[in-house]
Amino acid sequence: MRRASVATVLSLALACAACAQQPAAPPKPSPSSTASPTAAAAATLAAPSTPPVRVTNADCPEPPRPADQFRVTTTAATWKLLDLPERPGALRGGTPGPGGELWAVHDKDWQQGTPVRLTGGDWTDAGLPPGMTTVHQLTATPGGQVWVATPAADAWQVAVHDGGGWRALSIAAPKVDNQPSLSGGDGGWVSYADAAVHWDGARWTHLRLPEDQGPEVGTEQPLRTPYRLAASGGEVWALPYQGSRAVRIRDGVPQQVWFELKIDKRGAIHDNQGGAFYPQAVAVPGPDETWVFGSAAFGTHDSVDAEDTAAGRLVALREAGGRWTCTWGPFHREGFSDTFQDAVEDGRGGVWVATDGKMWHFADGRWTGQPLPVGKAGRPIAQVMDLVRAGDEVYALGAIVTEGTSHAATWRLTGS
C-alpha cells in the first residue's frame, strides 16, 4: 500500500499517512515484456458510460459523536514478528511472486529502494537490475514475471525477473508534463498521475482515472491528485491520495465510486477538508463483499496549544449485495490523525486491517484487535506499510521505529 505528496498538512496526516514511501516524478510507462512491444500496442480501457456509484449519508447515516460502532475487543496475539537480521529503513510494496513467494521493496533510507524476496525464512537481496541505482515500484504480472520500474528523464527504466535474474527492457514512453509521485503496483497494475496501466503478459491496457476530485474545499479550483492501487479478491482499486472519488476495476471493467458521505462539521475552523471521507484501504473477502476503510475529518483549532489541528473519525464501509453500510469509530475533537494503513482478506471470509501499530480483525460479525509485537526494549513503534497474502500466508510489512531510527520489520499471521 500503502503514497504521494499532497497539498496540505491536514490531508497528509489523514489521507496519506505513509506518503513518504513514494518517490517522485513518474513518466508514462509503455509496454515491456520479452517482446518489448511499443506504446502503440497499448489498448485503452474506456471509462464506463453509466453514472458513478455514489455512497452518501443516506446509505451511512452518522451516529452521535461518542458512538464507537467498532467496539474492538483485545484478543491473544496471532501475529508473529519474524526474527530476522536488522535492516535499516522499512519494507513496502509487498507482492506474491509467480511461485507464491513474497517480494517487496526494501527502502534503506526512504530514498534508495532495493528488491528483496523472502527465501528460506529470510529476506535476500534480489540485486538491482542493470543500469538502475534504485527501484521505486515492484509488481508481479499474471504472466509469471516480477518486474520493477523507476522513472528516468523521459521514460521509465524497467526490468523483469523471470527466475534467472534481472533483464533490462527497452521501452518507449511519451513524456508526461504532470509528474507526481509514482504509485503502487498490484497484479501487473501500476498507476501514475491520473492514469493506470496493466501488463497481462502480452500487452498494456491503459485506463484514464478521474482528472480531478471536484472543487477543492474553499475554492473553485479542481482538486488534482495521483492515485495508489489496492488489489484484493480479484478487484483492483485506484484510491486517490487526496479526495473521495475512487475507481474500481472488476473483471476488466472500470467503475467510478464516489464516496460523498461527510461528518458533522460543528467546530470546523480553518477547514480545508470539509468533513469528507477519504478512502485509504480495500479488502475483498468474497465475490459479493467489499470493504473500504478510511477516515473523515475537518480542520479545527486546538484549545490548549492554540494551533490548527484536525477533528474526525475512522469509518469502515461494507458493500454486500450492492448495498453499502458503515461502521463508525468515535469522534476525536482535536488531534485526529488515525488512518487505516492497509487491509487484506483473511482467506476465511473476514478481513484484517492495520491502524497505528495495531491489527484489527473482522470475523463472525465482530471486531477484535491486537498490538503488533515489537520485540525491543524502550518505546518502539510498529509501523505497517503493507498487508499481503502470499500463497497460504498473510504478512504485514513495515518498520519498527525507536528513538528516530527505523528498522525493516516483517510479521506473519500464525495459523494462516
pLDDT of 26 > 60? The answer is no
pLDDT tens digit string along 246-297?
Answer: 999 887 788 899 999 999 999 998 887 889 999 999 999 998 999 999 999 9
pLDDT tens digit string along 160-203?
Answer: 887 788 988 655 444 444 333 344 445 667 766 667 777 666 66
Query: Distance between CA atoms of 232 and 139, rounded to whole angstroms?
Result: 14
Cα of 406 vs its chain's centroid, Å: 20
pLDDT tens digit string along 195-204?
Answer: 777 766 666 6
Instruction: Please give the pLDDT value at position 218.
Output: 61
Query: Distance between CA atoms of 113 and 157, rounded to whole angstroms?
Result: 14
> CB of 103 within 8 A of CB of 97?
yes
Instruction: Please give the pLDDT value at position 121.
Output: 84
Q: Percentage of the chain with pLDDT > 70?
A: 75
* 39 three-class SS: helix
pLDDT of 16 > 60? The answer is no
Of 96-100, 170-174, 221-225, 376-380, minimum mean pLDDT range: 170-174
Q: Which amino acid is at 309?
A: T
Instruction: Please give the pLDDT value at position 153.
Output: 62
Query: Distance between CA atoms of 333 and 267, rounded to whole angstroms?
Result: 8
Closest among 409, 413, 412, 411 to 107, alpha carbons compared: 409
Residue 51, sorted as left (phi over 0), alpha (psi -120 to 50) or beta, turns out to be: beta
Collect all residues with Cβ–Cβ distance below 8 Å to 227 and sequence separation of at least 6.
183, 191, 194, 196, 209, 238, 239, 240, 241, 247
Query: Distance between CA atoms of 284 and 351, rounded to whole angstroms?
Result: 8
Instruction: Please give the pLDDT value at position 176.
Output: 43
pLDDT tens digit string along 102-150?
Answer: 999 999 876 789 999 998 789 999 999 888 888 887 888 766 788 787 7
Instruction: Please give the pLDDT value at position 181.
Output: 37
Q: Which residues pair with 117 in a beta bridge?
A: 103, 124
Instruction: Please give the pLDDT value at position 47.
Output: 56
In this prediction, residues 209-229 reach a mean pLDDT of 70
DSSP string, 313-376: EEEEEEEETTEEEEEEPPPBSS-------EEEE-SSS-EEEEETTEEEEEETTEEEEEEPP---
pLDDT of 24 > 80? The answer is no
pLDDT of 329 > 80? The answer is yes
* 407 three-class SS: strand
Read off the C-alpha cell for 69.
Answer: 460502532
Closest among 284, 274, 191 to 240, alpha carbons compared: 191
Collect all residues with Cβ–Cβ distance below 8 Å to 134 and sequence separation of at least 6.
23, 111, 112, 113, 114, 128, 150
For the CA atoms of the chain, what is the radius of gyration?
20
Q: Percentage of the chain with pLDDT > 90?
A: 39
More reliable by pLDDT, 313 or 229 = 313
More reliable by pLDDT, 90 or 97 = 90
Instruction: Please give the pLDDT value at position 12.
Output: 23
Instruction: Please give the pLDDT value at position 187.
Output: 62
Structure-derived torsion over alpha carbons of residues 224, 228, 232, 237, reported in degrees to the nearest 10: 20
Closest among 205, 264, 241 to 339, alpha carbons compared: 241
Q: Which helix (H) or strand (E) holds 281?
A: strand 277-286
Under the banding of pLDDT at 50, 70 and 90, the label for residue 313 is: very high
Instruction: Please give the pLDDT value at position 103.
Output: 92
pLDDT of 409 > 80? The answer is yes
Instruction: Please give the pLDDT value at position 99.
Output: 77
In this prediction, residues 294-303 reach a mean pLDDT of 88
Collect all residues with Cβ–Cβ distance below 8 Å to 133 and sequence separation of at least 6.
112
Instruction: Please give the pLDDT value at position 79.
Output: 95
Structure-derived torsion over alpha carbons of residues 102, 105, 108, 112, reported in degrees to the nearest 10: 160
pLDDT of 10 > 50? The answer is no
pLDDT of 32 > 70? The answer is no
Mean pLDDT of the chain: 78
Query: Distance between CA atoms of 91 and 108, rounded to whole angstroms?
Result: 9
Sheet hosting strand 166-169, strand order edge to edge = 137-140, 146-151, 156-161, 166-169
pLDDT tens digit string along 351-381?
Answer: 999 987 799 999 999 999 999 999 876 789 9
